[in-house]
Structure 1
Amino acid sequence: MTLPLTVAFFAVVFLTSALSGIFGMAGGLILLGCLLLALPASVAIVVHGVIQLASNGSRAWLSRQYIAPRIVALIASGGAVSAVALAWLGYHPDVTIVSLLIGVMPVLVWIPRRWFHFDASRPGHALACGVIAGGLTIAAGVSGPTIDLFFIRTGMDRRQIVATKAAVQVIAHAIKIIFYAGSALALSAGQWGAIALAVPVAFLGTRAGNGVLRRLSNAHFRYWTRWIVTVVGAVYLVQGLMAL
Structure 2
Amino acid sequence: MGTGLTLIICAVMVSTTFLSGLFGMAGGLVLVGVLFALLPVQDALTLHGITQLASNLWRAAMWWRFIRPRTAIGYMIGCLIVLGAWTLWQYIPSKAVALLLLGVLPFLSRLLPSRIRGNPETVLGGLAYGLLCMVLMLVTGVAGPVLDQFFLNGKLDRREIIATKGVCQVAGHALKVLYFGFLLDSSASIDPTLAILAVGSALLGTWLAKPVLQAMSDTTYRRWAGHIVTVVSLYYVGYGGWLIADVYLP
TM-score (normalised: structure 1):
0.91
Residue identity in the other structure for 1:219: T
1:4 aligned counterpart, secondary structure? helix
| Superposition misfits of 4+ residues, deviation over 6 angstroms | none
Match for residue 56 of structure 1? 56
Residue identity in the other structure for 1:186: S
Match for residue 28 of structure 2? 28
Using the TM superposition, name which of 225-234 and 42-51 deviates more.
225-234
The CA distance in 2 between the partners of 1:47 and 1:25, in whole Å, is 18
2:226 aligned counterpart, secondary structure? helix
- Evaluate the alpha carbon distance shift between residue 111 and residue 209 of structure 1 in structure 2; reply closer, same or farther with a 3 A threshold: farther
User: What are the within-5 Å matches in structure 2 for residues 138-177 of structure 1?
Assistant: 138-177=138-177
In the alignment, structure 1 residue 225 sits paired with structure 2 residue 228: no
The CA distance in 2 between the partners of 1:24 and 1:113, in whole Å, is 24
Match for residue 203 of structure 1? 203
Answer whether contact 1:46 1:184 (CA < 8 A) is retained: no
**Deviations for 1:12-63, whole angstroms, at most 9, x for unmatched residues?**
1111010000111111111111111111112110000001101111111111
The CA distance in 1 between the partners of 2:44 and 2:129, in whole Å, is 24
Give the C-alpha shift of residue 116 in structure 1. 4.8
In the alignment, structure 1 residue 124 sits paired with structure 2 residue 124: yes
Give the C-alpha shift of residue 222 in structure 1. 1.2
TM-score (normalised: structure 2):
0.89
Q: How many residues align?
A: 241
**Deviations for 1:201-232, whole angstroms, at most 9, x for unmatched residues?**
21111011121111111111111111111111
Answer whether contact 1:17 1:27 (CA < 8 A) is retained: yes
Match for residue 11 of structure 1? 11
Residue identity in the other structure for 1:40: P
- Evaluate the alpha carbon distance shift between residue 126 and residue 226 of structure 1 in structure 2; reply closer, same or farther with a 3 A threshold: same
Give the C-alpha shift of residue 117 in structure 1. 5.0
The CA distance in 2 between the partners of 1:112 and 1:214, in whole Å, is 32
Give the C-alpha shift of residue 120 in structure 1. 2.4
Answer whether contact 2:103 2:235 (CA < 8 A) is retained: yes
User: What are the within-5 Å matches in structure 2 for residues 81-160 of structure 1?
Assistant: 81-108=81-108, 110-111=110-111, 114=114, 116-160=116-160
**Deviations for 1:146-192, whole angstroms, at most 9, x for unmatched residues?**
113432454210100011000110010000011111455433xxx32
1:186 aligned counterpart, secondary structure? coil
The CA distance in 2 between the partners of 1:179 and 1:198, in whole Å, is 19
Q: Which runs of 5+ in 1 are unaligned?
A: none
Match for residue 43 of structure 1? 43
Residue identity over aligned pairs, in percent, reads 36
Q: Which runs of 5+ in 2 are unaligned?
A: 245-250
